[in-house]
Each structure stands twice: as C-alpha cells, then as structure tokens.
Structure 1
Amino acid sequence: MHEVIAEEWNQEANDGFKWQQRWEGVMSSGFERTDNEVITEAAAPEIVGSTAVTVVLSRCQIIASNCGDSRAVLCRGTETIPLTVDQKPDREDELLRIEEQDGKVINWNGARVFGVLAMSRAIGDRYLRPWIIPVPEISFTTRTDEDECLIIASDGLWDVMSNNEVGELARRILRRRRRYAAAGEVTAAQTVADSLTEIAVGRNSSDNISVIVVDLKSKKKQRNT
C-alpha cells in the first residue's frame, strides 16, 4: 500500500489543487488501484477482503486514510484522539448508503451487510459490490509539540480495548522507557506495540491483531526528558 500511495503521489498532477485536495485524490486513487490489483494479480478470490488504514506523516501534518474497521489514534498530551472512524454497516450514513442501493444490514453477531460482513467498506470482497466499496475516508490533523505517538492497529486490538485504554497504556510505557532506555534495547514504540498485542491476546481477541506504534517525540526531546 505504501508503494502504491507513493507512486500515485508522483503521478498526480498538481493542477493548482490545494494540497489537501491533492492528498484526497492520491488516497482515493491509491485505494482503488490496490483493490483492482487484488483481482488482476489474482492475489485473492472475490470472497476475500481486508481493511486498510494508512498514515502519512510530515513535519506539520498527519494524514490518515481508512477503509473498514482498522483504526488510527493520536496520543496528544493527556488526550487520545481518533484519526479515523470505523466504517460499520450500522453507522447511520453507511446504513443509508447501503439501503439506497437495495442492500440489507442484518444483525448476526453484530450488524453485517447481508448478515455476512461486519464492515461497510473494504479492499476486495468483490462479491458484495456495490454495497462494500474501497473508498477511503481521509482526515488531516496538524501536528503539535504535545503529540506523543501514533497507534495504528487492526480491529483485533480495538475489539477488546478502548481508545482511552490504549492511549493511557502507551503514554505510561513511552514516558518510562524514554527515561530509562539503554542503548541497544528494544525501542519504546516497539515495547508499546508488543504490550498492546499481549493484552489483546490475553483478553481472547478473536480477530487478527496487527499493531504499529510511531513515537512522535524528537530524539532531542527524548534526551532532555
């Protein structure tokens, strides 16, 4: 996905667009291209799909793009800020979109499109078109000096931990590890990711668990802590 997004950025003509509009075009075309490549390269049959969440980090912006129910959150000071909103079939706007195309959302161990899929957007899952679409939602967040870390994870984590629980644990571990970290040790961010994964497994999460943690504090600030 990151290679596709980078290629789309290089191919996207500026055409006088504002930078936000350009990123929206890049993310949308990148997700669509990835969805098409899943089929053309026979990477998966039509009944297989995946969520996708991407984050582009610049010196001043955090650009998050989400399709499905994976999630990205930002730890800023004492706050845990969601950068994405899960695309669930019973979310009011998603339910309306599905029903307007003669689709149905059935409650079967939670809201599911035709009683099958528990998300309303995804890469792949072609057998549920046009109700399941690979169109991402994109958010822009201006960075601040209070930003601690980014946490990007699949729903195996979020099914058993709230945003606030994840944020509190991340802040606690990061600050402790930054203060006492020795050369050659596992990074503070990796320690957070490992700890979150272990907790999700310990809580018997029934879905896949992928966790990426990005430490947003500069090395200079870490040395001064």
Structure 2
Amino acid sequence: MTLLRPRYWPGHLAMLVCVALATGLGLWQFDAWQTRRDDAARDVSKNPAVALATVMTGDSPFPGRDLGRPVTFKGTWIGGNAYVADRYVEGKRGYWVVTPVLVDGGDSAMLVVRGWSPKPDVPAPTGQAKVTGWLQATEGSGPFDEDPTDEVIPTMRIASLVEKVDSDLYSGYVVAKAYSGETVVEGDAAPPDLALKPVTPDAVPPVSGFTALRNLLYAIEWWVFAAFALFVWVRWCRDTLNPPEEPEPEPQT
C-alpha cells in the first residue's frame, strides 16, 4: 500500500504525536476542571484545626482543596494593620482589620483577619502570636486602590499588601477564630472601644469560578487542535493517494 512506504512514515508519526499530545493536554485540563469543581463543593470549615505547615508553606501555591480549612500556627506579629474597606457586620459598614504574622520556622508572613471594626484606627498587636482560624484564598479583581500609600485597601488581595509588609507573604490568608498577642483586642479583657467583632467564613466573598471554567475551555481548545491535526493528516493522505491532475499544456500556435 502506498501510504505504508517508509517515505511516508514521518507524516504518520507527526500526526500521532500531535494528536496524542493535544488529547493528553486536553484530558489534563479537564481533570483540573473536575478537581476544582470537587474542591468548591467540599466544606471543611467544621473540621478540626490542623497545623498550617501540614497544609501549605510560604513558598507553595494556595491549596484549593483546603479552602476554608481550620488551621493553627505560631509566630510573631509584625508591622501595623491594614484595613479592607466596605465590609459589613449586622448591616453596618466598616473594615476588616488585617495584621501579618511572621510564622515560626520560616521567613514568610501570614495575613490574619483579626476582626471587624467600624473605623480604621485599631491598635496592632505585638509580641508572640498563636492563631487559629480558617484558611482563605486571595480575592480576585475588584475596585482600583485609589491611594496605595494608605492602610486601606478595597479588596482582600494578597498582591495589594506585598509592599506594605517587610516579609514574603503566604499565598492565602487566615480569618481568625482565636488569637493571642500582647495587645488583646477580643473577649472580656478588651476595652469596649477596642473590641473587634468576629469575622466568620460566611462573611468571606466566594472565590471566583472563572479559573475552573478556564480549565474546561482550555481542554476543549486542545481537543480542537487534535481534531485539526487529524483533519490535516486525512487531507494529506487523500492528496497522496489521489494527487491532483496537472493541467494539460495549451497547444502552441
């Protein structure tokens, strides 16, 4: 058979490589889409708290399967507070109070949402910290920060606080359920004017599902590439078996 001759093997091999590669990449993206959907459907917020180091490190990407998982860690409070604007508690508009903790055993800081305040004027804790809370992912795009030099940010985006903290940051943050420090700002020990209202996981904006949808679209795109490679191979085979007839030369006068 003509197409089985050695001279045509490189064309067949190129088709197999292109189709296999595009199909495999499509399956990989499809699996990522399914995994993200499964992660979004899991609720681990009521699980027992685990050590932060068993979930992620300062250098690792955010673990999607552990979104909302209770974690605990120790460290040192560093720097001052940042405030996330337009956060509501009991219908009142105010701010999330965010303070970084340099986690023991590393050189990265975890941002901790300590609570809610009606005004951005809460003293920052100092000294040793022990934090227990829910692990959360950075928020996506949002309002533009009109004044990057102040302590107020419009959304809880890790990138917005990189230049405000003298340390590398974890790729997520923790909404505190309980914490300790030399400046106590919760419970009966706190002066009434310094008491912060707690923030719960229910108050955290949902993570955008665009990333998962993007994985599905990438999978479809790769499969389209595989189909196109197969189409080109079929056309090549057809043209090889039935080459187009060359036009007859016109008679000379």
- Give the structure-1-normalised TM-score: 0.23
Larger RCO (CA within 8 A; separation ≥ 6): 2
Larger radius of gyration: 2
- Give the structure-2-normalised TM-score: 0.22
